[in-house]
Structure 1
């Protein structure tokens, strides 16, 4: 059904393998440091020592997998953009602070 809608509206559908470990592969060097439990939100690559936020890292890997497809262009319609850029290793580390109202 998604493929038919994409054809109808001139969009490109990219299907990512269900088992692709996008949050566990370093978006900088492309190597996997092994399985990480879901409660691990930040991790450091064993090969290039880059610290990754799990969700941002997964988004970068999926963007690379999709080949730089975008669902928006200047006029709001779907369009293909240039090939995915190489990931830069400048992720902002997310640290959580306990806030108190009193």
Structure 2
């Protein structure tokens, strides 16, 4: 059974991103590993999964039309963290998100 634990005081966007990130681990059936390289790969993969789940190309395009390209403004409009906006941009630049 999976449990997601989170600390008090997270913003709504931080909580949404954290839960989506943990769902990414569940989707990929990740287990705890005591290997920093493998762990870093799992964390990055979970972030990419979460970003794809939370931000569609259309939603990003609409947000950018409303608030411009500033990552903080986009994050607020999309209700995600700035980190996830940056991950989305990186995936989009690599054509991994259409």
Q: Find the structure with the greater CA-based Rg.
A: 1
Tell me the TM-score normalized by structure 2: 0.34
Q: Going by fraction, where is strand more abundant, 1 or 2?
A: 1
Identify the structure with bigger relative contact order (alpha carbons < 8 Å, sequence gap 6+): 2
TM-score normalised by the chain length of structure 1: 0.33
